[in-house]
Amino acid sequence: MHGKRVGVYVDTRRYQCQSCNKTFYAPLPDIDEKRKMTKRLVEWIGKQAITRTFTSIADEVGIVEGTVRSIFRDYINALEKTVRFEIPQWMGIDEIHLIKPRCVISNIQNNTIVEILKDRNKPTVTRYLSQLKGLDQVHYVAMDMWKPWEHSKPK
């Protein structure tokens, strides 16, 4: 609250099922039952984890890094359900060095990244392009002249 860490203590009623004898608490509004924190905090952590390290968020909030990682995974999975993938009419194939060389597939018209492959090897690129649905919608392909790209291009 106001940039400060806050702990919330809540007294709730505990119930016992008469048929199975299990005890449970009444659900609390705006509490993420999976993580025992507010839904607002879970959403904030998910958004922050896109631009910050998991460790820095964990230190700020007072939770373990694994919880931040788990929240981020759930946040990304939810985002992926809202994204509609479209095959670019102008496809770019290039490489980027992120720890190691990787192939980058881009949409040149929108200036966006479509996919970053695990490496830039010919079998990886060929497998990706051959599994792409709607490849007939690609009208132009721009790529550098690195030899393995030459035989990977879409037909």
What is the reported pLDDT for 19?
A: 93
Instruction: With a cut of 80, say whether residue 145 has pLDDT above it.
Output: no
The pTM of this model reads: 0.54
70-74 contacts: CB < 8 A, separation 24 or more? 70/35, 71/35, 71/42, 71/45, 71/46, 72/45, 72/46, 74/46
* pLDDT band for position 155 (cuts 50, 70, 90): low
State pLDDT tens for residues 8-52: 788 888 899 999 999 988 888 898 988 889 999 999 999 999 899
- Tokens standing for residue 78: 């939810």
What is the reported pLDDT for 135?
A: 84
Instruction: With a cut of 90, say whether residue 146 has pLDDT above it.
Output: no
Domain boundary assignment for the chain: 14-80, 90-150
Bridge partners of 105? 93, 115
Lowest pLDDT segment from 17-21, 63-67, 83-87: 83-87
State pLDDT tens for residues 90-133: 999 998 887 788 899 999 998 888 888 988 888 998 899 888 88
